[in-house]
Amino acid sequence: MRYSAVWRSVGAMSCGSLVTYLTIRLLDGQKSSIYSSGAEGDGKRESLASGAWLHHWDLDKPQLQKVANGQESSALRHIILVRHGEYTKTSDGSHLTERGRRQAERTGQRLREMDLSWDHVVASTMPRAEETAMIILKQLNLDPLKMKRCTLLPEGTPYPGDPPSKRSPRSLELAYQRDGPRIEAAFRRYFFRASPEQEHDSYLLIVGHSNVIRYLILRALQLPPAAWTRLNLNHGSITWLTVWPSGYVTLRCLGDSGFMPITEVTHRRPLPAKADNN
Residue 68 three-state SS: helix
Nearest to 218 by CA among 156, 177, 169, 161: 161
Nearest to 224 by CA among 234, 232, 233, 214: 214
The separation between CA 188 and the C-alpha centre of its own chain, rounded to angstroms, equals 11
Task: Return the pLDDT at 46.
Answer: 42
Task: Return the pLDDT at 84.
Answer: 98
The counts of H helices and E strands in the chain are 7, 10
Specify the pTM: 0.82
Nearest to 147 by CA among 118, 112, 125, 122: 122
Which positions ≥6 away from 9 have C-beta within 8 Å?
114, 115, 116
| Exposure string over 35-60, b if 16+ CB within 10 A, otherwise e | beebeeeeeeebebeeeebebbbbbe
CA distance linking residue 269 with residue 261, whole number of Å: 18
Residue 243 in contact with residue 193, Cβ under 8 Å?
yes
CA distance linking residue 26 with residue 33, whole number of Å: 9
Please tell me whether 128 is known to bind a ligand.
yes
Domain boundaries of the chain, sorted by first residue: 73-264
Residue 55 in contact with residue 37, Cβ under 8 Å?
yes
What residue ranges of the chain have pLDDT lower than 50?
1-4, 7, 10-47, 49, 278
Domain 73-264: CATH superfamily is Phosphoglycerate mutase-like (3.40.50.1240)
Instruction: With both helix axes pointing from N to C terminus, report the angle between 127-139 and 98-113 in degrees, rounded to the nearest 10.
Output: 40
For 84-102, how does the pLDDT look when each residue is reduced to its tens digit (9 = 90+)? Answer: 999 998 888 899 999 999 9
